[in-house]
Amino acid sequence: MATRDEILHELKLAPEWRLRDRARRGAGTDAGDDARADLPEPAPGRVAPSPPRIVSVEDPAARRARIAALDWEQFDADVAACTACGLCRTRNKAVPGVGDRHAEWLFVGEGPGAEEDAKGEPFVGQAGRLLDSMLAALGMARGRNVYIANVVKCRPPGNRTPEPGEAEACRPYLERQIALIRPRIIVALGKSAASLLLATDATIASLRGRRHRYGDTPLVVTYHPAYLLRSLPDKAKAWEDLVFARRVATSVPPAAPPVS
């Protein structure tokens, strides 16, 4: 069976590399062809640097359709190979998500930080420890009826907020995770997650305490754990949100098993 790279090459959707010095020699070369800098020659006895990752030229509609058909066995590898936005150039490891793939609770954060980028798992730093404590207070734990994901699967440089184009590039992956998990409730952690899932630019304060919907799935909005580390008084509000989410979740019948 042909590999994904072979299929993309055959369909002429694979990334095309052009060396800068070669572009200079070519007649009628566009300025855009010189966007990537030349790679320096390695010093004697040293290994040449790896070429930079470039953004994929895969047709967006075809990409969405392909991701929508992924199963769990394919999902993580596909995320790890993704070059759909510029974050692929600076990431160390992609961070697909972690937890119970049949979870009733899906928590969606913003994006990986430095520790997550190093380990390939979401919420493993201070914010992750706070989230684990909040889950424990609810009688839950990551990996036990809980799945944790992010809006973007690669770390934005400097832990900045994901840009709209980056969030949109990663949207098909989050949509596929939601379709595979079929959670009873989604908890949006912070503004980036709430904005993407609810298609709104409203503030967290105005979205809290209300039952929203993502498709047919109830959704509750609360503060991101990283924000709570900087604003301790709002921890009580976040706890109120999680208690509210638990009430919402218990009022929703479990999803029917997927049709085989």
> Structure tokens of 11?
């369909």
Query: What's the predicted TM-score (pTM) here?
Result: 0.77
Closest to 188 in 3D by CA, of 233, 245, 136, 249 = 245
Least confident of 10-14, 52-56, 63-67, 178-182: 10-14
Q: Which fold has domain 60-250?
A: Uracil-DNA Glycosylase, subunit E (3.40.470)
Please give the backbone phi and psi of residue 125, each rounded to the nearest 5 degrees, phi first. -90, -155
Distance CA 32, CA 23 (A): 10
Residue 184's pLDDT is what?
A: 97
Average pLDDT for 140-152 = 95
Average pLDDT for 189-207 = 96
Distance CA 84, CA 71 (A): 19
Residue 167's pLDDT is what?
A: 96
Beta bridge partners of 185: 105
Strand 98-99 and strand 146-150: pairing? antiparallel
